[in-house]
Amino acid sequence: MTYLSKTFILVAGLTLSACSQPDRFGDGNTTDLNAAGAGGVVAGSASDPTSPLYFQQAVGDRVLFAVDQSTLSPTAMATLDGQARWLMTNVEYNGIIEGHADEQGTREYNLALGARRANAVSEYLIGKGVSPARLKVISYGKERPLEICSEESCYAKNRRAVTVISAVPTS
Amino acid sequence: MTSAAAEAGGAVNTGQIISGAGHAGLIAWAVFGGTFNADPLPFEVTEVTAISAEEYAALTAPQSRPEAVANIDTPEAPEAGDAPTLSSEADSAPAQAEPEATPQTEPDAVPEAVAPVPEPEIAETPPEPPAPQEDVAVLAPEISARPQAREAPRVAPEPMAPPEPDVRIDEVERQESAPDPQAETRQPDEEATAPEEATTEIVTEAEKAEQAAPSRSLRPRSRPAAPAPSEDAPTQTAQPEQPAAPQTDDSAVADALAEALGQAGATGTSGTPQGPPLTAGEKDGLRVAVQRCWNVGSLSSDALRTTVVVAVSLNRDGTLSGDVRQLSAQGGSGDAARQAFEAARRAILRCGAGGFDLPPEKYDHWREIEMSFNPESMRIK
Amino acid sequence: MIQRLAWLLMVALCAALPATAQEREGPLRIEITEGVIEPLPFAIPDFVGDDTTAADWGARISRVVASDLTGTGLFREIPASAHIGRITSFSSPVQFTDWTPINAQALIVGAVSVDDAGKLIVRFRLYDVFAGQELGQGLQLVGTTDGWRRIAHKVADQVYSRLTGEAPYFDSRVAFVSETGPKDARQKRLAIMDYDGANVSYLTDNSSIVLAPRFSPSGDRVLYTSYESGFPRIYVLDVATAGRRVLESNDGTMSFAPRFAPDGRTIVYSLTQGGNTDLYTMDIGTGQAQRLTTAPSIETAPSYSPDGSRIVFESDRSGTPQLYIMPAGGGEAQRISFGQGRYGTPVWSPRGDLIAFTKQSKGRFHIGVMRTDGSEERLLTASFLDEGPTWAPNGRVIMFTRETQGAQGRASLYSVDITGRNLKQVPTDTGASDPSWSPLQK
């Protein structure tokens, strides 16, 4: 079985609209930081620098891209530097990098474009010392927009790569 | 893997049975279909088998998530014995008088016109002042404001404004016939009709989007020369029969004039020694009369690459004598040639139903006509 | 006056010539190059039945036939209210004079009976009214009442084919993605329906994203992309049983945009590894894969030529997405799109002569067609977002996805004739995207 299926399910007390996709992972067998649930874990609060919520909110879990581009902006690199530091410190977590595109493009091309973006992030993190074995990439193309308006203000937020972290299998 | 396959197989067992029956039917149909072409009987028989929506829903609806690696065993086709029984023998032909069998040599094979049409009808050049619809065409603001081709269900050589709503669409534009108090016999009341709304080319959505700037204007109406309006009394047919003999003067003059004007050059190869040949205007009138019924809108792309030449024989009153015959076809496949011919035939039969308006005194010149239908320019509209 | 003299002079000259035109015998010749393009008017009186049950089936079947024909945009039905004549018996000769006055140029006459086993027996004949003759042979179709719509489609196919010269296509299905829910949490299910939107059934549930189903050449299987495993993978699904299996792929890769080769055994698809998307083929029987492209650019949306010798695909190797053609085994690719804009999702026509594509230009999306050398590009549609064309089995009609703008944006299916006429929505109960037109059913 894959390591994903043994992933510890972390339940966070907060729901972030940013990641409220119901089927981010079809199996539901991996960490969904946004799954609303009972039983808040104190150690997982956003003020705990080892928590995924801290990663998401304080470090910043996403970087944005220009139209049709997968190159990292200086802002994006700064965010990724933080992500790399966090991942280096918190080795009990792995990351899945999700690439996304805005709706202006064909489905297939956007899938490939999202993969390019996710890969750009992955390569940057690896360059900063994160083990390749701890990172996976996936593209959603234009299938999972964050913002739903058909204007550049929304498109800009949808052209993104999000690093989703999950606890490493305990065994 | 194997057990997963078995599991998956078990899960869809009933589905397989149902689908198996369906498959058997299809196979039976396919087998039966083999006789399809060989069957010389009037009816060809085919079997359509389909599983019902309910069956389909039953076998697909309660979808359980399968193992990602589950193998699909394509259900084997069950024995043909499961197949629904087929009525394999051809259906007895209904005792029907084959329409083709009826000899149709005389004009009565051509159905009479929509209504008795008393006037000659070259719609393009009504001798009267323009009909009200014409005014509409000229004044319609959308035309003056937007000179591009509009969208209309009909594409014709010349644009036509939408008809008034309660006017019946007809090939031929008619005035409403007012009863003429002077006339002894009342003419049948004729409903006013109007030509259908038409545009000059197909307007795609993409082109509509582009229409911010005017890119082309309407083609000017090509005005065919008016047909000689003089002798429209067909009773005088005796006159032109008088062999005007090699008294060539008249014909030579006309011919030479036409030649000199470059009007008849291309098509002016025909002619008999008897009487003057048709003027370019008269030919044009015939051409226009046929082309407004030549509808290529339902032809395949292949048929639209096919030029057919057909021959018709006319009676002295302009009606058809005998069948429209195909002389040649060029460009498309055999099937395409058939459809192209049929469209040409429909054009001649429909617009010639009331007889073509041709000068009777020149009958010998148009007794036999060859018409070539070349859709080249209609292909990319 | 001087002119007149000149004429006379010329006349004299012409008359003197020995072989002038008027001495040659022969028919009058005219050439017709301009016609009209409009729907052909036809009449289809309700098919007659021996009893009320059969007559009821007759009415339903003739309605579907009429709807198929008018739906092409090539035909126009003359409504029953305008009919002068009545067809009361299938075996009596047709009175063509009843149909010429209403300008019915084609007439379809049929009869329905129900046999002892409850099967429908449908007979019909097609007439060219103005020629006063039957076109082709009468046909009889036998089938279950459940399949009555298919019988009707087959009748319509025969008529359509006989009148237009095009191959038939009504008796076909469309696989598509049914969409529900808001734009940021859209739920997708694989679904299949008749080409006209009837008889919808679902092939998957909505628990994971599914994309772009593609029919096999025989119509028995569908390839599609699903996130079922968490990552995009290609699945092959048996249409009759809805059973499915995932095709092999390595961890850390994504595979998508699959299409069958004409052999029904090989597929071509995109595989992404390390952020680079290339084209591969796979024998889905053995799982043996072969890499076709190696460029660092994106290569996706491949489609085989009908003879299987070439592949058209989308690549941004030039800087923007454009269309290319290469041999089916890989090798040098020729760019075929050179217009302004971005091109994607090329699909080879089943006739082989045209390639349909999506084009993005000046903020609009278009569905267009071009010849296989890239010439004669013609855009058929324009909207906020059109994409993913699929060809009717006869290569005459294209179906595609159209998505509306804004937060409430919704996807639906549209079809358009390759002339650009007859653009219309295909009715679906839910949102719908990514259509794939099946081959003609057997």
Is A40 within 8 Å of A64 (Cβ atoms)? no
User: For residue B352, what pLDDT is reported?
Assistant: 87
Instruction: Say if residue C245 is in the same domain as residue C214.
Output: yes
C243 and C358 share one domain: yes
Check if the beta carbon of residue A94 is closer than 8 Å to that of residue A168.
yes
Q: How far is A146 from chain C, CA to nearest CA, in Å? A: 6
Which tens digit of pLDDT belongs to each residue from B164-216? 444 444 544 444 444 444 444 444 444 445 556 667 677 788 887 665 444 43
Query: Pick the residue with more confidence: C22 or B375?
Result: B375
Lowest-pLDDT choice from A50-64, B244-258, C327-341: B244-258
Residues of A within 8 A of C276 (CB-CB) are: 116, 119
Angle at B182 between CA B179 and CA B188, to 5 degrees: 30
Q: Is residue C354 part of a domain?
A: yes
- Beta-ladder partners of C403: C385, C411
Least confident piece of the model among B40-49, C77-86, C196-205, C359-368? B40-49
Q: Say if residues B8 and B72 touch (Cβ distance below 8 Å).
A: yes
With respect to residue B318, please indicate whether it lies within any of the assigned structural domains: yes
> Residues C29-47: pLDDT tens digits?
999 999 989 999 999 999 9
Judge whether B218 lies within some domain: no
Among B266, B278, B10, A105, CA closest to C344: A105
Q: Is residue B306 part of a domain?
A: yes
* Tally of CB atoms within 10 A around A58: 15
- Domain membership of residue B249 (yes or no) is no
Same domain, C145 and C244: no
As a whole number of angstroms, the distance between CA A38 and CA A169 comes to 22
Shared domain check, C352 and C215: yes
The whole-angstrom separation of Cα B11 and Cα B19 is 14
User: Does C232 contact A21 at a Cβ distance shorter than 8 Å?
Assistant: no
Instruction: Residue C231: list chain A partners with CB under 8 A.
Output: 138
CB contact under 8 A, C420 and B63: no
Say yes or no to pLDDT of B8 above 50.
Answer: no
**Chain C residues 55-94 with CB within 8 Å of chain B:** 74-76, 90-94
Q: Does C301 touch chain A (CB under 8 A)?
A: yes
Neighbours, chain A (3 or more CB pairs < 8 A): C
Q: What distance in Å separates residue C281's CA from the closest CA in chain B? A: 20
Please tell me the distance in Å from C411's CA to the nearest CA on chain B: 18
CATH number at residue A98: 3.30.1330.60
Q: How confident is the model at residue B49 (pLDDT cuts 50, 70, 90)?
A: low
- pLDDT-flagged residues of chain A (< 70): 1-44, 170-171
Average pLDDT over residues C81-107: 92
Q: Are residues C402 and C273 in the same domain?
A: yes
Listed by number, the residues of chain C in 214-273 with a beta carbon closer than 8 Å to a beta carbon of chain A are 226-232, 251-252, 254, 256-257, 270, 272
Residues of chain C with pLDDT > 70, as a percent, come to 94
Separation in Å, CA of A28 to nearest CA in chain C: 8
> Among residues C145, C164, C183, which one ends one of the domains?
C164
Q: Among residues 360-419 of chain C, which lie with CB inside 8 Å of chain B?
A: 364, 366, 368, 378-383, 396, 416, 418-419
Nearest to C198 by CA among C237, C150, C160: C150
Q: Are the Cβ atoms of B198 and C105 closer than 8 angstroms? A: no
The larger pLDDT score, comparing residue A124 to residue B7, is at A124
Distances from the Cα of B236 to the Cαs of B119, B239, C81, C394, in angstroms? 17, 6, 43, 55
Within 10 angstroms of residue A16's Cβ, the number of other Cβ atoms is: 13
Shared domain check, B119 and B22: no
Q: Is B4 or C314 the better-scoring residue by pLDDT?
A: C314
Interface touch A143/C184, C-beta < 8 Å: no
Amino acid letter, residue B280: A
Cβ–Cβ < 8 Å for C283, C273: no
Q: Residues near C102 by Cβ (< 8 Å), separated by ≥ 6?
A: C43, C78, C82, C83, C84
Average pLDDT on B333-344 reads 89
- Statement to judge: residues C227 and C322 lie in one domain: yes
Choose among B194, B193, B197: nearest CA to B155: B197
pLDDT band of residue B333 (cuts 50, 70, 90) is: confident
Looking at the predicted structure, is the pLDDT value of residue B224 above 70? no
Tell me the average pLDDT across B23-50: 43
Mean per-residue pLDDT, C135-159: 94
Statement: residue B300 has pLDDT above 60: yes
In a domain, C12, yes or no: no
Poorest-confidence range of B102-111, C105-114, C122-131, C147-156?
B102-111
Q: For B333-342, what is the mean pLDDT? A: 88
**For residue B249, what pLDDT band results from cuts at 50, 70 and 90?**
very low
Boundaries of domain holding C149: 40-164
Domain-embedded: residue C8: no
More confident residue, C248 or C328: C328
Judgement on whether residues C428 and C361 belong to the same structural domain of the protein: yes
Amino acid (1-letter code) at residue C111? A
- Cα–Cα distance measured from residue A21 to residue B14, given in angstroms and rounded to the nearest whole number: 36
Statement: residue C249 has pLDDT above 80 = yes
**Contact between C341 and C359 (Cβ < 8 Å):** yes
10 Å Cβ neighbour count for A164?
A: 24
User: What size, in residues, is chain C?
Assistant: 442
Residue that finishes a domain, picked among C130, C164, C198: C164
C344 contacts on A by Cβ (under 8 Å): 105-106, 108-109
- Quick check: C86 and C21 in contact, CB under 8 A? no
Q: What's the pLDDT score for residue B286?
A: 92
E strand intervals along B246-367: 307-314, 320-330
Say which amino acid occupies C397: V
Same domain, C157 and C193: no
Q: Residues B265, C5: contact at Cβ < 8 Å?
A: no
Residue B350 to chain C, least CA–CA distance (Å): 7
* Weakest-pLDDT range from B29-38, B267-276, C411-420: B29-38
Number of CB atoms found within 10 A of residue C342's CB: 21
- Same-domain pairing of B52 and B111: no
Query: Residue C407: is its pLDDT beyond 60?
Result: yes
Chain C residue with Cα closest to A152: C406
Contacting partners of chain C (3+ CB pairs under 8 A): A, B
How confident is the model over C260-283, as pLDDT tens digits?
A: 999 999 999 999 999 999 999 999
Question: Mean of the pLDDT values across residues C88-110?
Answer: 93
Instruction: Identify the pLDDT of residue B148.
Output: 53
C213 pLDDT above the threshold of 70 = yes
Say whether both C182 and C129 belong to one domain: no
Whether residue B302 lies inside any domain: the answer is yes
In this prediction, residue B379 has a pLDDT band, given cuts at 50, 70 and 90, of confident
Q: Are residues C206 and C235 in the same domain?
A: yes
pLDDT of residue B240 exceeding 60, the answer is: no
Number of domains in chain C: 2
Q: Which domain holds residue B18?
A: 2-82
- B335/C144 CB distance under 8 A: no
Strands ordered across the beta sheet of B307-314: B320-330, B307-314, B368-373, C28-32
Say which CATH number the domain at B302 has: 3.30.1150
Whether residue C132 is found in the same domain as residue C182: no
We report the CATH number of the domain holding residue C144 as: 3.40.50.10070
| Whether B15 and B59 share a structural domain | yes
Best residue in B105, B114, B204 for a mutation probing chain C (most C CBs within 10 Å): B204
Instruction: Please give the pLDDT value at position B155.
Output: 73
Dist. CA B136–CA B315, nearest whole Å: 38
Hey, what are C42's tokens?
A: 């036809």
Contact C277, C320 (CB under 8 A): no
* Any C CB within 8 A of B268 CB: yes
Please indicate, yes or no, if residue B166 is contained in any of the structural domains. Answer: no
Q: Torsion over CA of B283, B286, B292 and B294, rounded to 10 degrees?
A: -100
Closest alpha carbon within chain C to A70: C275
Q: How far is A105 from chain C (nearest CA, A)?
A: 8
Quick check: A152 and A87 in contact, CB under 8 A? no
**pLDDT-based confidence at residue C107 (cuts at 50, 70, 90):** very high
From C164, C197, C214, the end of a domain falls on C164
How confident is the model over C121-140, as pLDDT tens digits? 999 999 999 999 999 889 99
Mind giving me the DSSP string for B241-278? HS--TT-THHHHHHHHHHHHHTSSTTTTT---SSSPPP
Mutate to test the interface with C, among A1, A25, A106 (most CBs of C within 10 A): A106
The answer to whether residue B363 is domain-embedded is yes
- Amino acid B334: pLDDT: 79
Sign of CA dihedral A54, A57, A58, A61: positive
What's the whole-number average pLDDT of chain B? 57
Q: If you average pLDDT over every residue of chain C, what do you get?
A: 93
Q: What is the CATH number of the domain that holds C233?
A: 2.120.10.30
Residue B377 falls inside a structural domain: yes
Name the DSSP class of A137: E
For residue B27, what is the enclosing H or E element?
Answer: helix B13-33
Q: Nearest C-alpha of chain C: how many angstroms from A126?
A: 12
- Per-residue pLDDT for C352 more than 80? yes
In this complex, the chains that touch B, judged by 3 or more CB pairs closer than 8 A, are C
Domain of residue A133, residue span: 4-167
What does the pLDDT read at residue B35? 31
Assign A115 to helix, strand or coil.
helix
If one counts the domains in chain B, the total is: 2
pLDDT tens track for B346-358: 999 998 888 898 9
